[in-house]
């Protein structure tokens, strides 16, 4: 049975026959005890109320903690999912970039190979054309030399024949031919000699100029 301050205040003791307590002292003490007990009861009630409030707040905090933990777990899972998606996307981008880079490199190498092959073909063609021109120059110079030598030979033969004819005609002119005829014959011989010299000089100049052009 719970004891209340009223129980203490209204408590009555039986009188003892011998050596009993003073009633006023006992009543005064009981009043003090009742007052202190009442204060303690009030404080206890307040403490119980505070404890109940604390329990409610603790429950709220626990619920909040649970919610925060759930939110943190969800955020962690979401972050891991985002991280995994970002990793997959980055790997895909890197793979695509690598493939494009390899394709560009292969294309550049093939283009460079085609250009090198074309350049080699052009070089070989130029070398063949140069060889043909060189051979044509050689044959042309040989032909010109042969023509020039033929003309020179003809000029030499002509000069030799004119010299011989001149030697044979000198006595006849001195003895029989008129002066006018002699002059004409001399002029004719001189013109042939001059023509022969001019032809020789022209042929030599032609050979020289042809050699210069094909150097």
For 41-85, the pLDDT digits (tens) are: 889 899 999 999 999 999 999 999 999 999 999 888 888 899 899
Q: What is the rounded CA–CA span in Å between residue 156 and residue 188?
A: 17
DSSP 56-83: HHHHHHHHHHHHHHHHHHHHHHHHHHHH
For residue 15, the model assigns a pLDDT of: 63
**CB-CB neighbours of 193 under 10 Å:** 15
pLDDT in tens, 150-207: 888 898 888 888 888 888 865 544 444 444 333 344 334 444 344 444 444 454 554 4
Closest CA to 189 of 172, 213, 170, 204: 170
Domain count, the chain: 1
pLDDT in tens, 87-131: 999 999 999 999 999 999 999 999 999 999 999 999 999 999 999
Domain with 81 in it: 5-12+20-213
CA 11 from chain center: how many Å?
105
């Amino acid at each position: 049975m719970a004891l209340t301050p009223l129980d203490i205040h209204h408590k009555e003791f039986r009188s003892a026959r011998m050596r009993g307590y003073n009633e006023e002292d006992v009543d005064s003490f009981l009043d003090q005890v009742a007052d202190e007990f009442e204060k303690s009861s009030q404080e206890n009630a307040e403490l119980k109320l505070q404890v109940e409030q604390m329990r409610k707040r603790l429950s709220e905090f626990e619920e909040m903690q649970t919610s925060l933990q759930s939110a943190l777990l969800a955020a962690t899972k979401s972050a891991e999912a985002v991280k995994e998606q970002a990793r997959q996307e980055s790997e895909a981008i890197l793979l695509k970039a690598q493939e494009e880079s390899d394709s560009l490199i292969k294309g550049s190498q093939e283009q460079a190979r085609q250009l090198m092959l074309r350049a080699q073909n052009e070089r070989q063609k130029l070398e063949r054309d140069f060889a043909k021109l060189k051979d044509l120059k050689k044959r042309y110079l040989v032909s010109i030399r042969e023509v020039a030598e033929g003309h020179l030979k003809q000029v030499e033969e002509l000069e030799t024949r004119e010299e011989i004819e001149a030697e044979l005609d000198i006595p006849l002119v001195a003895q029989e031919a008129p002066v006018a005829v002699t002059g004409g014959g001399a002029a004719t011989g001189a013109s042939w000699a001059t023509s022969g010299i001019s032809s020789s000089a022209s042929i030599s100049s032609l050979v020289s100029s042809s050699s210069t052009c094909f150097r």
